[in-house]
Amino acid sequence: MRSVGQWFLGRSLILGFFLGFAGGAWVDAPTLAAEVVVQKGATRSGEAVAVREKERREFLRLGDLASSVMDFFGANHFAARDFDERLSLRLLELYLELLDPEHLCFTEPEVREFRDRYGRRFLEDTSSGRLEAVREISGRHRLFYRAMGECLAGWIPTLDDFPEDVTAVADRTRTSWPADEASVWRSWWEELGAELVEKRMGGMELSDAVAAMDEEWRRRVSDIRADTPLDRVSQFLTAFASALDSHSEYLTRDQMREEESEIRLSRIGVGISIETNAGGVRVTGVDAGGPASKEGRIRVNDRILAVGQGRQGGWVEVSGLHSSRVATLIRGDEGTFVRLRVLHAGSAEETEAVEVVLKRTKLLNDEGRAFGKVLEWASPDGESRLFGWISLSSFYGDDAEVIAQRKRSCSRDVRTLLLAMKGSGVSGIILDLRGNGGGLLDEALEIGGLFLGNRTVTVVKGLHEAPQKLGPERYKTSVYGGPLVVLVDRDSASASELLAGALQDHARGVLVGGMQTYGKGTVQNVVDLGDYVSKELRKSVGGALVTAGKFYRVTGFSTQLNGVRPDVVLPSTLDVSGNGESGMKNPLGNDSIPRLVRIEEGVLHAVDAIRLSSLSHARVIQSAEFHEIDAQRSRLERDWRENRISVGLRTRQVIEREKQARERSWNQWLRNPFGEIRNISVGSAQADGAGRDNGLFRGMKGAEEFVMGLEGVRILDDLVASRPRTDTGPEKSKVQRNR
């Protein structure tokens, strides 16, 4: 293959012509774009001027839209930040990151030029409706990709497998801006090398891989060039919302329709929510029971790199595309298939991305209903005990405002399971909230009531509002008061963190999991912005997902960023840099408010949480399974920090064989240590079958989940063994905790 130096010499004149370099300086982007069109024979000079003037007028018109949207966010966002110079510079940086997340276009001198020319007044100008800077910056970006498309069309067909000693940056979103033009070309060379080896590792012949890359890049460049002024302004408004915090977002009209269809509980898709930010296209939610949840490999905070239609075929790279366009690619007719190339959060190497094939289905938010099992456990003390297991992957329910009128309600389902388990004579219960990304807050509050009775579950504070205590409205009497273990992990987010935190703070259950939960302690409102703009702009404006408040535990501490720390901490591969709220670009900070709730006595006998942790730790350090989990976590952390990958085919094949060998070794741990396992139906209070369950638990998608779940049962057994025999009614003594 040709070296980067040979390509640079062969293409620099062409690229320089299209980009308009003159001693490293740019000429006016719209002018140059028109000149390129003229020289390609596509239009006459007068028509080019007319196109440029039409674009200028459209940006002037959209200035009023941008100003109105920014005023809305400024008045309604929880943080209520001043529109100052610091926010202006952050906005400019995030806008550049949104346009060029992989740093393949702009150089450090250009970014510095943008800061000097626009940085301090960027916010003032745009909030006043003056979008000249947005027009110029986005114009340069589009023009670069027009030129790059010409270069790639000539370069990609000449590619060959890269030398074994060549490496590339694994995640370009975490790199600094290229120092100069030579660094840009080097970045492109590495990027294409990484893409080529990824396809070759997927089994493609060289010629097929090159052809697929050529098609994908042509489509990607075409999509960027097809952006309208409204698309470009929407991208800017998305950057503005993310400058306020990582969960606020400007929604296009298509995205607003998607939000409305979710509220109506009828949509066709694969069951994931996404957003576009400076880090690329990120998964923000996985619907319980949807195709993605059932397939099992897509998690919150994963990045989507590309989308393909059908079981096989070409890919559309989605970096730089607005989330509404990516959502359109993912959606489709019921029964059809879509492919997603997904990079797990915390993974450094794009060659480790997984390709997931999903069948589009009609989605209802009560799929993935709570399920339960009664397990027969042979305790080390010689006794045989029955334990209940309840898995809840989301807080679901239909759109009836009053819970009692809902036909679908997770709190009602969990109550049914608890009553059935009490009837079976269980000695203790595990509530599994791992991977629970949240859902309906009122349902989470009612589940809190099933274990806590009429106690406060959480406290919410809105903009300019006093803190408000929240608890159950329907289930104000505890249904189960016996031994309880709550399983959580880094993917337990939002409402599940509030429930877990309340059970811990009220000394009601023992929390078991990784280092902490996700750390999302904010609440967002969806607002249609049609009423906030002039009548002529209503067809253009979308909506806002605006952070309107924060949640606090009954102790006064927020779950934001810090999440909830379990009483018993287990090794987890999810506890790596880049995962959770702290891995987002611009999260709100952690704070606290004065305690508003009197913490009553806990309902368990005096059990020292330190003792439970000590007993578990003694098992963990002797466990080959947990040693492998910890080793894998260390490998992921090392790869994330090094942020380099090999693009040599043979080197990658060796690494892949080692990875597969480790995965095969996991299979020996997928065994059933239980006796009888009975499934409990949420449709009745009766056990609906008994026998051996080879999968152990529905919803456990991997050996790590199984190993951690099994240790949770052992901890529950320790808890039960340490207390005198009793029924499963409320108890009186307080759990002693190490704070």
Strand 522-528, strand 468-470: pairing? unpaired
Tell me the pLDDT band of 11, cut-offs 50, 70 and 90: very low
CB atoms within 10 A of CB 278: 23
Q: What does the CA dihedral 107, 111, 112, 113 come to, rounded to 10 degrees?
A: 100
Give the residue-averaged pLDDT of 464-480.
94
Cα(456)–Cα(452) distance, rounded to whole angstroms? 9
Tell me the pLDDT band of 712, cut-offs 50, 70 and 90: very high
CB atoms within 10 A of CB 256: 21
Q: What is the pLDDT of residue 263?
A: 43
Strand 484-488, strand 510-513: pairing? parallel
Q: What is the pLDDT of residue 587?
A: 93
Counting every residue written for the chain, the total comes to 739
Q: Is the pLDDT of residue 446 over 90?
A: yes
Strand 280-286, strand 303-309: pairing? antiparallel
Cα(410)–Cα(398) distance, rounded to whole angstroms? 10
Share of the chain above pLDDT 70, in %: 80
Share of the chain above pLDDT 90, in %: 48
pLDDT-wise least confident of 32-46, 148-162, 566-580, 634-648:
32-46
Q: Which residue in 709, 690, 691, 713 sits closest to 699, CA to CA?
A: 709
Which is more confident, 706 or 604? 706
pLDDT-wise least confident of 154-158, 190-194, 629-633:
154-158
DSSP 8-state assignment for residue 28: P
| DSSP output for 431-443 | EE-TT---B-HHH
First-to-last C-alpha distance (Å) of the chain: 60
* Residue pLDDT, tens place only, 335-365: 888 999 888 876 656 667 888 999 888 765 4
What are the strands, taking DSSP E only, across 178-299? 249-251, 267-269, 272-277, 280-286
* Residue pLDDT, tens place only, 524-533: 998 999 989 8
Yes or no: say if 445 and 398 are a contact pair by the CB < 8 Å rule: no
* Residue pLDDT, tens place only, 84-139: 899 999 999 999 999 999 999 999 999 999 999 999 999 999 999 999 999 999 99
Q: Is the pLDDT of residue 222 over 50?
A: yes
Q: What does the CA dihedral 679, 680, 683, 684 come to, rounded to 10 degrees?
A: 130
Cα(146)–Cα(149) distance, rounded to whole angstroms? 5
Tell me the pLDDT band of 718, cut-offs 50, 70 and 90: very high
Structure-block tokens of residue 723: 């207390």
In the chain, the amino acid numbered 480 is Y
Which is more confident, 733 or 174? 174
Helix (H, G, I), strand (E, B) or coil at 527: strand
Q: What is the pLDDT of residue 493?
A: 95
Yes or no: say if 244 and 127 are a contact pair by the CB < 8 Å rule: no
Phi and psi at 337, nearest 5°, equal -115, 150
Yes or no: say if 640 and 578 are a contact pair by the CB < 8 Å rule: yes
Tell me the pLDDT band of 404, cut-offs 50, 70 and 90: confident
Cα(302)–Cα(295) distance, rounded to whole angstroms? 15
Distance of CA 11 to the CA centre of its chain: 39
Give the residue-averaged pLDDT of 703-718.
92
Phi and psi at 729, nearest 5°, equal -80, 175
Helix (H, G, I), strand (E, B) or coil at 579: coil
Q: Is the pLDDT of residue 266 over 50?
A: no
CB atoms within 10 A of CB 311: 11
Tell me the pLDDT band of 517, cut-offs 50, 70 and 90: very high
Distances in whole angstroms, Cα of residue 730 to Cα of each of 234, 475, 567, 598, 734: 54, 15, 21, 19, 12
Q: Which residue in 11, 312, 308 sits closest to 151, CA to CA?
A: 11
Cα(131)–Cα(85) distance, rounded to whole angstroms? 17
Structure-block tokens of residue 195: 């893409």
Helix (H, G, I), strand (E, B) or coil at 229: helix
What are the strands, taking DSSP E only, across 661-733? 677-680, 687-691
Distance of CA 104 to the CA centre of its chain: 24
Cα(526)–Cα(539) distance, rounded to whole angstroms? 18
Q: What is the pLDDT of residue 667?
A: 63
Yes or no: say if 255 and 543 are a contact pair by the CB < 8 Å rule: yes
Give the residue-averaged pLDDT of 457-486.
94
Looking at every residue in the chain, the average pLDDT score rounds to 82
Q: Which residue in 361, 362, 307, 312 sits closest to 336, CA to CA?
A: 361
Give the residue-averaged pLDDT of 435-449.
94
* Residue pLDDT, tens place only, 636-673: 999 999 999 999 999 999 988 888 887 777 666 666 67
Q: What is the pLDDT of residue 591?
A: 94
What are the strands, taking DSSP E only, across 310-360? 316-317, 337-343, 354-359
Q: Is the pLDDT of residue 294 over 70?
A: yes
